[in-house]
Amino acid sequence: MKFIHTSDWHLGRQFHNVSLLEDQSAVLDQLIEYIAQHPVDAVVVAGDIFDRSVPPTAAVELLDQTVTRVCGELNTPMIIIPGNHDGAQRLGFGASQMKQAGLHIISNFKQMLEPVVLESEQAGQVAFYGMPYSDPEQVRFAFGADVKDYDQAHQVLVEEIKAHLQHAQKNVLLSHCFVDGGESSDSERPLSIGGSDRVSADHFRCFDYVALGHLHQPQQRSEAHIRYSGSLMKYSFSEQHQKKGFTLVTLDQNGFANAEHVALKAPREMRVLEGELDDIIARGKTDPNADDYLLVRLLDKHAILNPMDKLRAVYPNVLHLEKPGMLIGVEQQMAQAKLARSEVDMFRDFFREAQESELSSAQDQALSAIVKDLLKQ
């Protein structure tokens, strides 16, 4: 049995105030074309299908077209869980009506325990369990479990699923979380502050495959069958060298057999260009990919009038400009330094806001000691 593992589509995302919907649509076309050419048994999407809980109408329409082509025209079941960017209840509307048509949206804990079972010659029955994205609070409330962090919450959820596993079946889990040690990117929204969002890969070992979402870089965690597919496309300049696409998973009679990264190519890449203005403009005149989304770092030492206009004459999609080489850069750096307040400063600000008074000097000393201790760890 072969299935596609993908995640983090973030449909409707804006990037430096530019809508990426057209690019997302082009990449999804490639995904659909792949399925048309190389039929698979299922497509699983491990969360963050939309970029926000109330997505723009055009993003809803793009997802509608995509599921109609995959489930309808290509007759390929899709299994979707919400991520931290999605609104689970909204995404879950009509879920029970859609199941018959092969669209399975798993958006609550009840549905989590009712796997989607698909039959295959090579691997027999394969049960897909979807764990909708959930924070410790939701797990505490739903299961009356005393959980303090994401790790304990996911342990409870996995235990619930384990009680339902049928060992004659192969078992696949979809989960949207931050597995400990994973490599993060700039375009992910933190699940919580301070590291309490990390989940141990140990919980996941018992499944034949774990399709993870949240981290935007494709990667395996701890074992070859516990993987992030990475995001549909690049969502920050820091991802310029990351591979983007989906993971093609093969299961056989022994369970996990293989995972292969299949590349998808966005019509416009995200790139960083560094150099002096004249050089960059000269390069741009013959650059075949001049409409890529660009961050330009100008190294010129002197002031330049309207650099953005000049750059956009050859690179129309310059989205951000940095001028580390110019004098004005010094001021920028000073401003940034001012912004980069220490943890102690930030807590002082917070205390002032919340308590409408200053920390006493004893409190201040205690705070400094605690922060110092924490930063040492």
Residues in contact with its own copies, shown as a per-residue x/- string from 61 to 80 under the rule CB under 8 A: x-xx--xx--xx--------
Is there binding between residue 97 and its own copies (CB under 8 A)?
A: yes
Pick from 25, 8, 52, 2: nearest CA to 244: 8
Q: 123 φ, ψ to 5°?
A: -120, 5
CB 36 within 8 A of CB 74: yes
CB atoms closer than 10 angstroms to residue 46: 30
Among positions 21, 101, 145, 201, the unique one binding its own copies when judged by CB under 8 A: 101
Q: CA 300, CA 323: separation in Å to the nearest integer?
A: 8
Closest distance of CB 13 from its own copies, Å = 18
CB 44 within 8 A of CB 174: yes
Is there binding between residue 17 and its own copies (CB under 8 A)?
A: no
Among positions 22, 93, 190, 352, the unique one binding its own copies when judged by CB under 8 A: 93
Closest distance of CB 58 from its own copies, Å = 8
Q: CA 257, CA 162: separation in Å to the nearest integer?
A: 22
Closest distance of CB 61 from its own copies, Å = 5
Stretch that binds its own copies, among 59-67, 173-181, 211-219, 320-328 (CB under 8 A): 59-67
Is there binding between residue 126 and its own copies (CB under 8 A)?
A: no
Q: CA 2, CA 250: separation in Å to the nearest integer?
A: 5
* # of chain residues touching its own copies (CB under 8 A): 26
Is there binding between residue 92 and its own copies (CB under 8 A)?
A: yes
Among positions 17, 37, 57, 361, the unique one binding its own copies when judged by CB under 8 A: 57
Pick from 49, 47, 46, 43: nearest CA to 11: 49
Of 58 and 117, the one with the shorter C-beta distance to its own copies is: 58
Q: CA 71, CA 118: separation in Å to the nearest integer?
A: 14
DSSP label at residue 182: P
Closest distance of CB 211 from its own copies, Å = 21
> Which residues of the shown chain bind its own copies in the complex (CB under 8 A)?
53-54, 57, 60-61, 63-64, 67-68, 71-72, 87, 89-90, 92-103
